[in-house]
A and B are shown apart, each in its own frame.
Chain A
Amino acid sequence: MSNSAPLWIALLPFLGALVVLLEGRIRSASPPSPIDSGETTQRAELVRWSAVITLAAALVLSLLAIFAGTLETHFEAPPLVLPFGTWQARLTIDGASSIVLPTFLLAALIAILAAPRRALDARSTAIALGTLGSGLFVAMAMDSVTLALGWTLGAALPISAAAGKRTPSRRAVVVFRTLRVVLLVLGLALAVVGAVQADLERPFELSAVTSPELPFAMATLVLVTLAALARMAAFPFHVWLVPFVDEASPLLFAVSFAANVGLVLFLRVALPLASALIDDAVPFVAVVGLVTALHAALRALSEQRLRRLIALVVGSQLGTILVGAAALRDQAATGAMVGVASVAFGATGLLLVASAVEFRVGSVNVRMGTSSPRAGVTTGLSAAMPRASLAWFVLAFAVVGIPGSLAFVAEDLVLHGLLHAHPIFAVLALLASVLNAVTLFRAGASLFLGTPSRTFAVPDLLLRERVALVVVALLLFGVGLAPHRLVTAATSAAHSLAGVVEVEHHGAPEHLR
């Protein structure tokens, strides 16, 4: 039975974007208010609440579909008969998407709730919402056309956020976004051509596209894998990450990178092909994930700009998630999916603190090893912003996997799965985690502690920001302390993945059991 719930979940962010844009148009057409600051505040709050209402609706709908079981989770559009086969747009909530949907929606909701008013202009908020909606389409798509459309929109919308700017950084971002669209569209097109050649009735279905017997299956595998790696800023596609984070708003960064659908693409399209076609493909992806995790973690050690540093740590953690997913063991794959939620919430929280600081004191550079203030370096902020300081350290520890946090559960499961598949990878992935902990702690110590670099006459976190950060902390620690439901969902998703095997209970002598 078909139901429109998945369609509405993906469309609601677009609807929110439309409302925000229309509202912005109406406001800009109206005569300027004599009290400008009040007008700006009102406008920002309208943008915020329009976005919040649509995202909350999408979140409730997704939770009803996943947990309450009151809604069917498949959407099928009327079939369109084409000369070479039938295309039917299909969306579904299953396995990985049941974790990704509420996670991404919640992360975006929190980011919008806490965003400073100055960051909430109609255009950039609409673009962020549209990017989120595109990601949701990708997460639920069961046919190649919907997948490609969602993927392309998700790449194109953030580019339009900086339309008019012709900076070198933006050019790099455009190049890589175009590359990842080309890779996926080409890969899917080849698969569809193969399916048409094989006379399949529905050549656009993902089940057809991921069939290893079709011609061009190997080319599809390579192209789709590369597209997924590019989306996750995996090595060597990581070059776009730093310029992107330099220019993107925190909200856009949260919905387009921290909430990353690259893994879903890898699990849904590349993994079935890889496990059937070549044995060595998956270790190759695991190696790429490991190199990404270590490279980003090492690179972050010498990074001095706060936003870039967060982006690199998130990139490193996505690398570890990729290693877990590619290990093809149920524990590691489960850990990878739990890790997606942990990274999305943790990165959102850290970005919120960073943007709260940046909106108060300007662009922030961090540096350690000196007690005297230097140009461009911010130190000793905790005197003015003690709550921001506390929030940073709590979130940093949560992100790097202090016991009780969601990241700990994810890390523990990935580690156990990896040790069965590739023990050396497990140790190296742990090293990346150690480096990330040092980086985040160092950044927090440099920014908040020590002698203040100047007098900061800035307010601490507002109540709205505090509540949002408490929600993030509760999600990270609350779900971390009671992860049963999430882990069960992730396990069932992991077991449904092609090639993933259950780890055998071995090694224990009989007398020890």
Chain B
Amino acid sequence: MPERDVMLTVLAATVVLAPLVTALGLGLFAFLSEVPSERATHRIVIVAMVTSILSLLSLVVLVLTSGEPYLEVDFGPWFHVGHYEFEIAFLLDELSLGYGFTVAAIGLLIARFAIRYLHREEGYARFFILLCLAMAGLETVALAASYDVLFLGWEIVGVSSVTMVLFFHTRPGPVRASLLVLVSYRIADLGLLVGAVVLHQAAGTTEYEAIFEHGAWPGGATHIDVTTAAIVGLLLLLSASGKSAQLPFSSWLPRAMEGPTPSSALFYGALSIHAGIFLLLRSAPLFAHAPVVRGALIAVGGCTAMYAALVGRVQSDAKGQMAYATMAQLGVMLVEIGFGFVTLAALHLVAHAFLRGFQLLRAPSVIADVRRIQAELKDRPLPSDNAIERALPITWARWLYRHALERFYLDTLAYRVVLRPILRVSEMLAAADAAALQILVREPAPATTEPGSPIPPPAIAKAFEGDGSNKPTGTRA
């Protein structure tokens, strides 16, 4: 193996393994022995993250000096059966390195911020362990050379994201919110998993290089037939919608802000939330071939942007407003990809990740900021941003206001159309089993629930129904 290839392999592996091994090591130590001290935890984590970012920068230099538009790093098959191989490989091009660097840089900044912000918090070590796990997952998503490998990182990001929502796990709100996030993620993950397998069927591989015919991003084309491209594209859109909180999966994002500020910034402002957009950017050559998917991208993105802009205007808390603002921007990115402006969408992604990450980190200081602005303005009024509302007829404005407050009843609809029937079927099956047992033994069957207590709707239902905790206490409409 040439020296450059060895170096590439070691560096690419280090980008992912440094945070991953740190997370696993710290977790194992905490489980078998005791929770490591704050100082030890953050020092180890910062070293791992600096190692990761330096490795990434070295990769950037190697790619730039190679004279080639992209390089591929092959780690060999994970497992194989017959003709099927699960190949582990990374693709180093401007998109993967750009997103990878954004992830590493913002991750490092947030880790540095959290050292002070979470000082003496009970879950200090837990936060840093999950941060490292998320970084490993996000870097895998960024550098993956195939949909198979991307899925590995995708799932790790999902698990760390759900677990991070549970940071304040003694409160009921985060517990319900985490379940909602998990349900949304798992349903959306089906899209990526099935999409990857359909690609295996259609193209015999999920490697970008083969599917997009060795074209450097954002170029490249595919000879996959239009129907398959459309099916795969729609499945990928489903998956991206789940991860990036686009309709119909938009409910989880505001509720996921239950975690500490650094985790909100990391997952729901800056990085994890953009993973869906990254997936779509990576798959852009596939969409060029499937106008149906491009139409769906524009429709989903446009509707989400409108929905989020309207609902966001009636939120009274800073984090809630930022959640909807993020959702709206991501919707715009979907529209950009749908129209084929992928470079613009990529730039939009990076700029938005840094801006929103910064805004969320500043969120705890927003009241102080407003007071300072008011002090500066003295007697002058605050600039108004409700020109659009004033331009609308009053009946329209009231209608929009009421529906925006109720998030356009999407949560209720999801509960009534999807979740409640599933839960009812589940309860009916339990009753049928109990009846079958009763017939068999001719005596009362063991109770499924506590005697005298009705089966309450599980947290999924509760979370979808909403408990009022996310409703605004004041309005600006």
Contact = CB atoms under 8 A, between A and B. Distances in A.
A301 B423 contact: yes
A389 to B, nearest CB: 8
Contact of B449 (A301, A304, A420, A449): A304
A506 interface: yes
B456 interface: yes
Interface stretch (B57-65, B185-193, B331-339): B185-193
B446 A246 contact: yes
B83 A512 contact: no
Interface of B: 27-28, 30-32, 78-84, 86, 151-153, 155-156, 159, 162-163, 166, 169-172, 175-176, 178-179, 182-183, 186-187, 189-190, 193-194, 197-198, 200-205, 210-211, 213, 223, 422-423, 425-427, 429-430, 433, 436-437, 440-446, 448-450, 453, 455-462
Contacts of B80: 487
Contacts of B183: 438
A276 interface: no
Given A402-B159, A438-B182, A483-B79, A238 B433 contact: yes
Contact of A369 (B27, B446, B462): B462
A334 interface: yes
B429 A508 contact: no
Contact of B458 (A246, A301, A512): A301
Nearest to B183: A438
B462 A451 contact: no
B433 A466 contact: no
A321 to B, nearest CB: 16
A383 B170 contact: yes
A507 B79 contact: no
A200 B147 CA distance: 55
Nearest to B158: A402
Contact of A430 (B153, B193, B433, B445): B193
25 contacts: A168-B442, A169-B446, A171-B440, A175-B441, A238-B433, A239-B436, A239-B437, A298-B426, A301-B423, A302-B448, A302-B458, A303-B448, A331-B81, A368-B176, A369-B458, A370-B172, A374-B450, A397-B159, A419-B197, A430-B194, A466-B31, A483-B79, A512-B210, A512-B211, A513-B210
Nearest to B225: A509
A427 interface: yes
A442 interface: yes
Nearest to B154: A403
B204 A375 contact: no
Contacts of A371: 172
Interface in A268-306: 295, 298-305
A470 B32 contact: yes
A394 B182 CA distance: 15
Contacts of B169: 382, 448-450
A330 B82 contact: yes
Contacts of B427: 302
Give the interface centre of A238, A416, A503, A504 by most chain B CB atoms within 10 Å: A416
A441 B179 contact: yes
Contacts of A236: 436
A412 B204 CA distance: 15
B250 to A, nearest CB: 19
B437 A330 contact: no
Contacts of A380: 170
Interface string A357-385: 00000000101111100111100101100
A368 B433 contact: no
A5 interface: no
Contacts of B82: 330-331, 491, 502-503, 505
Given A382-B170, A445-B175, A467-B32, 20 more contacts: A168-B446, A298-B422, A301-B422, A302-B455, A302-B458, A303-B448, A330-B81, A368-B459, A368-B462, A370-B172, A382-B169, A416-B84, A446-B459, A466-B31, A487-B81, A494-B81, A505-B82, A505-B83, A512-B205, A513-B204
Contacts, number: 222
Nearest to B83: A505
Given A441-B179, A451-B172, A434 B190 contact: yes
Contacts of A101: none
Nearest to B463: A369
Contacts of A9: none
Contacts of B210: 512-513
Contact of A367 (B152, B166, B456): B456
A274 to B, nearest CB: 22
Contacts of A393: 163
A369 B456 contact: yes
A7 to B, nearest CB: 32
Contacts of A503: 82-84
Chain A binding surface SS class: helix
A426 interface: yes
A374 B453 contact: yes
A19 interface: no
B458 A172 contact: no
Contacts of B178: 441, 445
Contact of B193 (A246, A413, A415): A415
A416 B440 CA distance: 40
Contact of A507 (B30, B194, B204): B204
A423 B443 CA distance: 42
A63 interface: no
A484 B448 contact: no
A291 to B, nearest CB: 11
Shortest 7 CB-CB distances between A and B: which pairs? A508-B204, A371-B172, A505-B83, A368-B459, A403-B152, A168-B443, A168-B441
Interface string A411-431: 011011001100000110011
Contact of A413 (B81, B171, B448): B81
B175 A450 contact: yes
Contacts of B436: 236, 239
A191 interface: no
A151 B381 CA distance: 84
A216 B101 CA distance: 68
A491 B84 CA distance: 12
A293 to B, nearest CB: 13
A448 B169 CA distance: 9
A383 B448 CA distance: 27
A505 B204 contact: yes
A212 interface: no
A299 B426 contact: yes
A379 B163 CA distance: 17
A375 B178 CA distance: 24
A495 B357 CA distance: 53
A330 B429 CA distance: 34
A374 B456 CA distance: 12
A47 interface: no
Contacts of A374: 450, 453
